[in-house]
Amino acid sequence: MIKIILSSLVVSVFISAVITFASVSTSTVEASENLASLELAEEELSDLSEKMGISVEEIKEGFEQAKTSDSPFNYPGFYRYWFQAFLWVFTACFASSLIQSYLVVSQFNKTKQVGTP
């Protein structure tokens, strides 16, 4: 049973990391391309500043950093976003893997008992 849990854990970590990386890096590249074409007026920046509770300069700095980012890894918040997505995908993969492993083992045990004289 421990082997089943460990194999489920390893497979889930690997699959989750690959799926999450592909998804997050793709969406980050798309977001940075959209940001590059976005221009905010001063009124919009002021409203955004009030809603977010940060200064207009910080918002402008974040936009410039995102616009000039040549890699998704340099995008602000990439790793935090990746980790949050990874946790959700990992939880789903691990639960699914455990359920499938349990069903396979229980079916194997039933078959083994039926076939034994």
Q: pTM here?
A: 0.55
Identify the CA nearest to 14 among candidates 89, 98, 107: 89
Q: 22-58: per-residue pLDDT in tens?
A: 887 777 777 766 766 667 777 787 887 888 888 888 8
* Planar angle of CA 32, 86, 73, nearest 5 degrees: 35
Extents of the domains making up the chain: 2-115
Question: Looking at residue 116, what is its pLDDT?
Answer: 57
pLDDT score recorded for residue 96: 87
- Cα separation, 59 vs 46, in Å, equals 10
